[in-house]
Structure 1
Amino acid sequence: MGIIRKTFTTAFLATAGTVGYLGTTTRLESPLPEDDPLWRSKSFRKYNRHNNASTQDLVYKRIPLDKIKPELLQREGDLALEFCRGVWGGLGYRFQRAYLARKYQRPATAAQLWTADQLSKSTYEPGTQLTDHFEVVEKTPTEIVVRCGDTPRNAGPRDSDGLFVISASVDKARGEVVLGLKSCFFNGNSRVEGIQGPMPGWMEELHRWYSRLWLVTGSWRVTSSFL
């Protein structure tokens, strides 16, 4: 989790006003419920082959349908894709992207997505690699699943591994859109005893606030106003 430790503190805009805004406009669920679809997903079974304990959470945000750009509601999949573009191409990821570019952007990673423009236009098909630290491993009309924890050039088992599930769905009954960022971090290389995930408590707390930042700044991409 070294890269996470280094980038959280530089990427997170830790002012009292920002924290208050993030806290009042988002919701947190942790741990994930036992029936969460993530546990049955092919990516979780593949990369956490020892079923080790994980650091896990979901941050989400509900937005009234009339605040969503109407063109994103006309075709299935457009909303989740545009939200994903907002997460990676937006303000929340700007500082981590710059840090990773300085350290890892080189000829060997030239085929990956590095610029805000690339991240804002990608269709995020499985196999897409981002800033030498993320790779899309699943895509549905409502979810884009991204592997993290190490360079995507290391396709095998990793001591530091994890999944982000970027989601967007319509709750017609409540007249709202639900945007979510689900996280799960684990050791995927060897069996680890116990029920404690890999992150210490202080890092887990920073991670949750950083996820809220990604969620909120990503949501700006799909809304007709800042919320």
Structure 2
Amino acid sequence: MGFMRTTVLAGVAGTSTIAAYLASRNPIITPLATDDPVWKSKVYTRQNPSRNPATQDICIKRLPISKIKPELVNRDGDLVLEFCRGVWGGLGYFAQRKCLEYKYRGPETANQLWESEQLRSSNYEKGTQITDHFEVLEKTSTSITVRAGDTPRKQGPRASDGLFVISASIDKVHEEVELSVKSVFFSSEGKITGNKGNMPRWMEELHQWYSRILNETGSWSLLK
């Protein structure tokens, strides 16, 4: 996600008050727990067969159910679908979407999602390709997993590869919904030694701020 993170952060998270709000309402947990479901998932095993080290984190946001549109909590899958629509069709992804559109939109990517209206209305079924940079690999009633890191036109191993797991679930005990954007980035080419992912620390920090922005702006589509 390169320099677009810097652009977004300069305009949004550059204000200390906004940055403090994003950090407090969208906390980051890193590394992921060793028993996190992603490590045993079929999509992760398939995309990272050599188990190369990964840059990993999860951004979590919790909201009272009372603030959520009631029609989104009545049927399995509706909440996460609307959250996913908000992530890709919302303000947080606008700048990167425009950059990728300028660079890669053309006849060879005409079947992909580019317009905000498409991103806000897609059902994000398996195989859906987003702005020549993401592809839906799995969809369940509580999560939508997309491959990231390079164009989906490159289906084989990549030097830059990874997964985004966009999730939304209902916590009936606390009467809240939990929204999360989980990230696992790695190289899927060959075998890499060590225990650290291939993302430099400064880029990892920018990525974490970007995850906060996507989580925050994605949640807006769920609100009454």
Aligned equivalents of 2:62 and 2:8: distance in 1? 24
1:189 alignment counterpart: 189
* Counterpart residue identity of residue 153, structure 2: R
Aligned equivalents of 1:127 and 1:19: distance in 2? 35
1:169 alignment counterpart: 169
1:8 alignment counterpart: 5
Is structure 2 residue 90 aligned with structure 1 residue 90?
yes
Given that 1:167 and 1:180 are in contact with CA atoms closer than 8 Å, whether structure 2 keeps it comes out as yes
Task: Give 1:99-110 correspondences, 5 Å limit.
Answer: 99-110=99-110
Aligned equivalents of 1:43 and 1:7: distance in 2? 27
- Structure 1 spans left out of the alignment, 5+ residues: none
What SS does the corresponding residue of 1:177 show, helix, strand or coil? Answer: strand
TM superposition shift of 1:223:
1.2
What SS does the corresponding residue of 1:195 show, helix, strand or coil? Answer: coil
Given that 1:84 and 1:218 are in contact with CA atoms closer than 8 Å, whether structure 2 keeps it comes out as yes
Aligned equivalents of 1:160 and 1:129: distance in 2? 17
Aligned equivalents of 2:51 and 2:201: distance in 1? 21
Task: Give 1:103-122 correspondences, 5 Å limit.
Answer: 103-122=103-122
What's the TM-score, normalizing by structure 1? 0.96
TM superposition shift of 1:11:
2.6
TM superposition shift of 1:139:
0.3
CA RMSD of aligned residues (A): 0.8
Task: Give 1:1-227 correspondences, 5 Å limit.
Answer: 4-12=1-9, 13-15=12-14, 16-224=16-224
TM superposition shift of 1:18:
2.2
Query: CA offsets per residue over residues 66-106 of structure 1, 9 Å max, x none?
Result: 01110101111000000000000000000000000000000
Q: Percent identity?
A: 55
Given that 1:11 and 1:95 are in contact with CA atoms closer than 8 Å, whether structure 2 keeps it comes out as yes
TM superposition shift of 1:17:
2.7
Query: CA offsets per residue over residues 1-46 of structure 1, 9 Å max, x none?
Result: xxx2222112332322321220121121110001000001111000
**Aligned positions, number:** 221
Aligned equivalents of 1:187 and 1:120: distance in 2? 30
* Counterpart residue identity of residue 21, structure 2: Y
- Structure 2 spans left out of the alignment, 5+ residues: none
